[in-house]
């Protein structure tokens, strides 16, 4: 592999280790947004950004931003970054690798004596992970003007999200929406095994899958488990099991197509949940993710038909599947994808296009600017786990791709202003 010598693997590894060390005692690696440990991590990042030559600030949405002015700031901003918060016991690299890679881009430019024409910004978005307030991507939603106003009243331990944003240095009622960003790039660990299994260095993300959540209620009848004949039961659990197997079968069929697709029965509640009672009621929540919108529409249609057929077969009442939430997929910007693929070739990175099954801040930034992201491998695809790991070499190669892409965009975007 060819690695830009100005991107320093040792510096990246040292930074990730330093940030990972800021964790809840006895809980590696836990640094949830809005907690004292998160604020300590932010202080470390702020100093690191300043050491890279950036002027730092917290914007109204609570995002930490390091700014390096360009020679022609009127051209606008190229932004690179990710998030530094973690899930509980969640891992050292999810989000963190992207923030450190962005920081390394700024340092590598400084080491080369390169000042972009565009302003460069390194960002640490607030609360990409599901926060103590039960919502996620708070910072990127705030920057893109898509954070619901009612979220500010959400509470956790007597504190509102509005106060939480204030406590991290933001202004929940201030204007955080950006109109000057010309391109946004994000590096992230893959959180899956594809790159490792295919012995590839970088995944250029073609799209971030849309996420749809569907609730189904199965109403059977509670009966004595020992005395009710098997043929006389209206067992809600048995019917729900047929539905769950149908979700898996339909998900596999759609996943065999060209676009990424996944479907999971992620929540399952049964009552009365007693060993000697035939289950009376089941609530199921399906999480479905599609790169291609038509696949999701087919899934919803086939699910509706399948539920009716299963209810007729078992004689148990099943509600019409209810859409709890329904977000469309976010394709990566075509121009930025081309630039990232060219940067992979320059850096000598073996690469492929691939969809992201997980949500990311990039999906919200795409509402206001050209946006794209890359994946780097993580060992065995593990993520949201203490075992999550990515090598410094892999992250450094991804950072080299970002560096080449930022340089290319600094020139290319001027032709499209």
**Predicted local distance difference test score (pLDDT) of residue 90:** 87
Mean pLDDT on 172-195: 98
Q: What is the pLDDT of residues 91-113, one digit of tens each?
A: 799 999 999 999 999 999 999 99
Alpha carbon 388 to chain centroid, angstroms = 15
Integer Cα distance of 188 and 390 in angstroms? 10
| Residue 1, pLDDT score | 45
Output the CA torsion 27→28→30→35 (10° steps).
60
Q: Cα–Cα distance between 197 and 363 in angstroms, integer?
A: 26
* pLDDT tens-digit readout, 269-299: 999 999 999 999 999 999 999 999 999 999 9
pLDDT tens-place string over residues 72-91: 999 999 999 999 999 999 87
Angle of the 96-112 helix axis to the 36-51 helix axis, nearest 10:
20
Angle between helix axes 9-20 and 96-112 (nearest 10 degrees) is 140
**Count of beta carbons in the 10 Å neighbourhood of residue 241:** 17
DSSP state of 209: P
CA Rg, the chain, in Å? 24
Q: Residue 4's pLDDT is what?
A: 52
CB 142 within 8 A of CB 63: yes
261-271 and 281-290 beta bridge pairing: antiparallel
pLDDT of amino acid 5: 59
Contact 373, 337 (CB under 8 A): no
Q: Quickly count: other Cβ atoms within 10 Å of residue 258's Cβ.
A: 8
Between 2-16, 39-53, 149-163, 354-368, the lowest mean confidence (pLDDT) is in 2-16
Give the chain's domains with CATH numbers.
Answer: 9-208+330-415 (3.40.630.10), 210-326 (3.30.70.360)
Banded model confidence at residue 417, pLDDT cuts 50, 70, 90 = low
Residue 3 has pLDDT above 60, yes or no: no
Question: pLDDT band at 382, cuts 50/70/90?
Answer: very high
Q: Which of 108, 85, 105 is nearest to 95 (CA)?
A: 85
Assigned token pair, 117:
């024409």
> With 80 as the cut, is the pLDDT of residue 168 above it?
yes
pLDDT digits (tens, 9 = 90+) for 190-202: 999 999 999 999 9
- Model-level pTM greater than 0.85? yes
- Residue 377: name the closest of 402, 394, 361 by CA: 394
pLDDT for 91: 78
Q: Give me the sign of the Cα torsion angle 93, 99, 100, 101.
A: positive
Distance CA(123)–CA(372), nearest Å, equals 15
DSSP 279-335: --EEEEEEEEEESSHHHHHHHHHHHHHHHHHHHHHHT-EEPPPEEEEE---EEPPHH
Residues 6+ away with beta carbon under 8 Å from 90: 29, 30, 129, 384, 385, 386, 388
Whole-angstrom CA distances from 335 to 180, 371, 416 are 18, 9, 11
> Measuring CA to CA, how many Å separate 382 from each of 58, 199, 235, 378?
32, 16, 37, 7
């Amino acid at each position: 592999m060819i690695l830009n010598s100005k991107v320093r693997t040792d510096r990246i590894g040292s930074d990730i280790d330093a940030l990972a060390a800021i964790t809840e005692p006895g809980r590696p690696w836990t640094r949830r947004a809005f907690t004292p440990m998160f604020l300590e991590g932010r202080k470390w990042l702020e100093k690191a950004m300043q050491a890279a030559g950036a002027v730092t600030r917290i914007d109204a949405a609570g995002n930490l931003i390091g700014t390096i002015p360009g020679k022609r700031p009127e051209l606008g901003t190229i932004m690179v970054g990710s998030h530094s918060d973690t899930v509980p016991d969640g891992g050292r690299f999810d989000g963190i690798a992207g923030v450190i890679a962005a920081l390394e881009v700024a340092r590598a430019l400084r080491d080369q004596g390169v000042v972009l024409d565009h302003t460069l910004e390194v960002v640490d978005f607030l609360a990409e992970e599901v926060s103590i307030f039960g919502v996620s991507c708070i910072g990127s939603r705030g920057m893109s003007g898509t954070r619901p106003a009612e979220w500010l009243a959400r509470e956790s331990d007597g504190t509102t999200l509005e106060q939480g944003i204030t406590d991290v240095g933001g202004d929940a009622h201030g204007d955080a929406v950006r109109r000057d960003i010309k391109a946004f790039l994000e590096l992230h660990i893959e959180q899956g095994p594809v790159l490792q299994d295919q012995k590839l260095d970088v995944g250029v993300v073609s799209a971030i899958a849309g996420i749809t959540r569907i609730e189904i209620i199965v109403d059977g009848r509670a009966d004595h488990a020992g005395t009710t004949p098997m043929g006389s039961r209206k067992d809600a659990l048995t019917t729900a099991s047929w539905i769950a197997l149908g979700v898996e079968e339909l998900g596999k069929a759609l996943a065999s197509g060209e676009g990424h697709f996944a479907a999971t029965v992620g929540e399952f509640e049964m009552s009365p949940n007693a060993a000697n009672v035939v289950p009376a009621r089941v609530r199921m929540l399906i999480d479905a993710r599609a790169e291609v919108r038509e696949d999701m529409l087919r899934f919803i249609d086939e699910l509706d038909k399948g539920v009716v057929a299963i209810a007729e077969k078992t004689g148990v009442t099943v509600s019409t599947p209810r859409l709890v939430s329904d977000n469309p997929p976010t394709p990566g910007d075509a121009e930025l994808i081309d630039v990232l693929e060219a940067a992979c070739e320059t850096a000598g990175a073996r690469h492929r296009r691939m969809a992201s099954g997980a949500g990311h801040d990039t999906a919200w930034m795409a509402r206001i600017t050209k946006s794209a992201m890359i994946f780097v491998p993580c060992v065995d695809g593990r993520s949201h786990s203490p075992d999550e790991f990515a090598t410094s070499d892999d992250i450094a190669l991804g950072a080299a791709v970002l560096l080449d892409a930022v340089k290319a965009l600094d020139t290319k975007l001027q032709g499209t202003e």
